[in-house]
Amino acid sequence: MSRFGEERESNERFSRRLNYVLWMLVILTGVLIGRLIYLQVHAVKTYRTLSYENRIYTRQLSPERGDLYDRHGEVLATNRLDYSVSVVPELIEDREALLAWLDDVLAGSGYEREAFLKRLRASRIPYSSVEIAAGFGLEAVARIAEGRYRFRGIKIGARSLRHYPQGEIAAHVIGYLSTPDAEDLRRHESDAVLYRHINRIGRTGLEAQHEAVLVGRAGHETVEVDVRGNAVRQLKVQSPQPGGDVVTSLDLGMMRAAHRAMRGRRGAVVALDVATGAVRVLLSSPAFDPGALNSLNYQRWTESRDKPLFNRALQAQYPPGSVIKPVVALSGLRQGVLNWEDVVHDRGVYTPKRGNRIYRDWQENGHGETDLFKAIYRSCDVYFWSYAERIGVESLGVSLGEFGLGRSLGLGDTPGLIPSPQWRKVSGRAPWMPGDLLNLIIGQGDLLASPLQLAYMTAVLASSDGQVPLPSFEADAPPGRAPGLNDDGTLQTGLDAPEQAGVGLGGAPGLNDDETLQTGLDTPEQALWFAGYTQADIDNVRRALLRVTAADGTAPRASWGHRFAIAGKTGTAQVVTLPQWDDEGNPLKKSDVELSEEQQDHALFIGYAPAEAPEVAVVAVVENGGSGGRVASEVVRDVVVSYLRAEQRRRTRSAVADQGDEASGGVQ
């Protein structure tokens, strides 16, 4: 029986020990169930959220930015697809084969093997893509798409890049995009998310002006993604609304002609439509290549002596020189100080009654017997000096203001400056001297104007009724509406005030009031400014301006090489003030002084054409182009001729088309 006893003892020990083990299992089970209850009941919300965020991804869909066109539908700014190719490192199976294949298909498309390998090594996040190369053409994309089936994890991406097919021809006027800063984001508060996403905003030029139209509306989509970030399923989508295209008033043909004529010299060209004030050309030279705009080049261009980023057409201010003489003449005529008969004998020197300074005409020996007509087309300084005191600084300032000088014209242009004794006093400068008036009357001294203002002045001079809407980039009115409709034009400028400057020959409304400090004008006098100018005086001034481009005018070259009638006026902007006397006390002549290139005078020319019924007004400034404005007159000529030839071709074409219509109509 002992055997059974031992057996029983053995069994009891076994049961006891098994019970210990089972109790352990029970405790462990309790811990597990507790853990599960904690995770799945207590913390379920947290983990639900985490799992939702894991798989649901809402992303912005960028709208395509709108295109910019010139008036004939040529593209100024558009978008180009920029391709990139990337790979998920975890999915690479045969690294050597992949690298060999990449060397093959991406040869010559900017792919750098070492840079890629470096990015590959630096990759930390599992299953995130690593860029292989970007910014190559469609051809390389095709080669990749063709061979990528052999490898896993190769992704081709595309993003939209701004593209300026015209290069530097329209660089300044189109402007450029850049990264939005805090100020931009505050200004576009409702679109801040969009701007953060697309990370670019129109910074300057038309890109900035039409930002609201061009940018479009963002869309978004909610997708379910897998662990690699691949969209598995689209849950919700709101398509982006692409930005609107903007047709502008610019004329690329004229822009090209202007760019060619400037030959990279420093300066600016502005052309306006006389009837509508529409900007046809707004060119600053030298220009930059908008496609090459990056931080490196930006700095290089900023430091360059030529300042290619500076928009001279709007931001530069020059003493306009003799180009203001037609306005001075009209001002004197309105007061009755000047008339077309009186003659001044010009020996090349003017000596004021007070003071010991002498004033030299640009023509050393003088112009001889000079009436107003000749004084305009020969640009005789002595003639205007003789009447300076009687014309007076106030009325001269008023006239210049009436023609658009001394205030910004609403395109972000500099206001320039019309000096006056008051302005001198208010700004705390040296008191106004009689000599300042003599400088002012020939457009020198403190008087400053931007090329845009001078173009506007020219357009007013050339217009039929003296009313030119403020310059704008609005496209021409659709066919059927008469061009130059005043109320349309005013609305299109986008300015608050409906008023505009212009030579009012038939009861135009009064001018707006501006900052007196800068214009030097008193506003009350402006209300009746238009009353004085007569049609006869205007016509005579225009005849004199046409004579400027004749053989005995100051700009005969403006007539070379074509048969169009161009009227205009030369001007010289002095860069440095020359000493009047030499060391021995003898009067100095201009030709006696040696000037460096950068001390050379700026050449200016304003012109309009056709002279009998002006359509386009053009101004050209060539910095350090020399006295007399000859080089500038050539630039204006080229721009005007390109416009007139294009118009001629267009008219011929439409005439032929009309005849064709009639012929086909006749058959029936």
Which stretches of 487-627 are assigned E, i.e. beta strand? 567-573, 602-609, 616-622
Report, in Å, the least distance between residue 84 CB and other proteins: 24
The three-class DSSP label of residue 559 is: helix
Q: Smaller CB distance to other proteins: residue 122 or 667?
A: 122
Q: Is the Cβ of residue 7 or residue 364 nearer to other proteins in the bound state? A: 7
- Determine the Cα–Cα distance for residues 262 and 306; give it in Å rounded to an integer: 14
CB of 59 to other proteins, least distance (A): 16
Q: How far is the CB of 44 from other proteins (least distance, A)?
A: 4
Q: How far is the CB of 46 from other proteins (least distance, A)?
A: 7
In angstroms, the CA 640 to CA 539 distance is: 21
Shortest Cβ distance from residue 91 to other proteins (Å)? 12
CB 407 within 8 A of CB 401: yes
| CA 329 – CA 333 distance, rounded (Å) | 6
Cβ distance to other proteins smaller for residue 6 or 582? 6
Judged by CB, which is closer to other proteins: 40, or 299?
40
308 exposed, middle or buried (CB, 10 Å; 0-12, 13-18, 19+)?
Answer: buried
Alpha-carbon span 140 to 163, nearest angstrom? 20
Nearer to other proteins, 125 or 482 (CB): 125
Full DSSP string of 225-262: E-TT--EEEEEEEE--BPPPPEEBS--HHHHHHHHHHH
The smaller minimum CB distance to other proteins, of residues 58 and 302, is found at 58
CB-nearer residue toward other proteins: 128 or 339 = 128
Smallest distance, Å, CB 231 to other proteins? 11
- Give me the amino acid identity at 472: S
d(CA 232, CA 220): 16
For the CB of residue 41, give the shortest distance to other proteins in the complex, in Å: 6
Residue 567: count of CB within 10 angstroms of its CB: 29
Residue 97 beta carbon to other proteins: minimum distance, rounded to whole angstroms: 22
Q: How far is the CB of 128 from other proteins (least distance, A)?
A: 9
Spatial separation of the C-alpha atoms in residues 169 and 167, rounded to whole Å: 6
Say how far apart CA 668 and CA 658 lie, in whole Å: 16
CB closer to other proteins out of 221 and 224: 224
Does the bond joining 610 to the residue before it have cis omega, within 30 degrees of 0? yes
CB of 41 or CB of 663, closer to other proteins: 41
Rounded to whole angstroms, how far apart are CA atoms 397 and 400?
Answer: 5
44 vs 531, beta carbon nearer other proteins: 44
d(CA 209, CA 215): 11
To the nearest whole angstrom, how small is the minimum distance from the Cβ of residue 152 to other proteins? 14
Distance CA(607)–CA(545), nearest Å, equals 8
Contact residues for other proteins (CB under 8 A)?
3, 5-7, 9-11, 13-14, 17-18, 21-22, 25, 28-29, 31-33, 35-37, 39-41, 43-44, 46-48, 50-52, 54-55, 124-126, 224-228, 232
